[in-house]
Amino acid sequence: MKKLPIGLQTLEDLRKRNGIYVDKTEHIYKMVTEAGKFFFLSRPRRFGKSLLISTFKELFKGSKQLFEGLYIYMTNGSGLKNIPLFI
Ligand SMILES: Nc1ncnc2c1ncn2[C@@H]1O[C@H](COP(=O)(O)OP(=O)(O)OP(=O)(O)O)[C@@H](O)[C@H]1O
Ligand SMILES: [Mg+2]
């Protein structure tokens, strides 16, 4: 059974520990490929900012195995590899 990912702020931890992940990768893919160039992420505490940034990091690193079964895995998500991300 999958667990709630309480306190897990990186996609790697969440996926390796079999945590529930609400798949946001469709929106992430659209942010990168269709939306603007700059984003200001202003969200309240515990709204998933760190996990989102970690998801970008893994995407741009090309960590394909972490995305198995998610929306972006079925798209050309791996083509996003090597876009630099500064955090
Ligand atoms: N898409 C998601 N699916 C499942 N759980 C999620 C998702 N996004 C965030 N969470 C969970 O919600 C909690 C808060 O996420 P995170 O630490 O990324 O938020 P934050 O906005 O960076 O918080 P803080 O303001 O405290 O730094 C964590 O337990 C994380 O695993
Ligand atoms: Mg955070």
pLDDT of residue 22: 97
Q: Hunting for tokens 């690193």 — which residue is that?
A: 61
Specify the 3-state DSSP secondary structure of 19.
strand
pTM of the model: 0.88
Q: Distance, CA 34 to ligand 2 centroid (Å)?
A: 25
Band (82; pLDDT cuts 50, 70, 90):
low
Q: Report d(CA 18, CA 26) in Å as an integer.
A: 20
Q: Distance, CA 59 to ligand 2 centroid (Å)?
A: 18
Q: Report d(CA 9, CA 47) in Å as an integer.
A: 11
Q: Report d(CA 26, CA 14) in Å as an integer.
A: 18
Tell me: the pLDDT tens digits for 2-38? 899 999 999 999 999 999 999 999 999 888 888 778 8
- Average pLDDT over all residues of the chain: 86
Q: What is the atom index within ligand 1 of the atom nearest the CA of 54?
A: 18
Ligand 1 pocket, Cβ-based, cut-off 6 angstroms: 5-9, 14, 20-22, 24, 43, 45-51
Beta bridge partners of 33: none
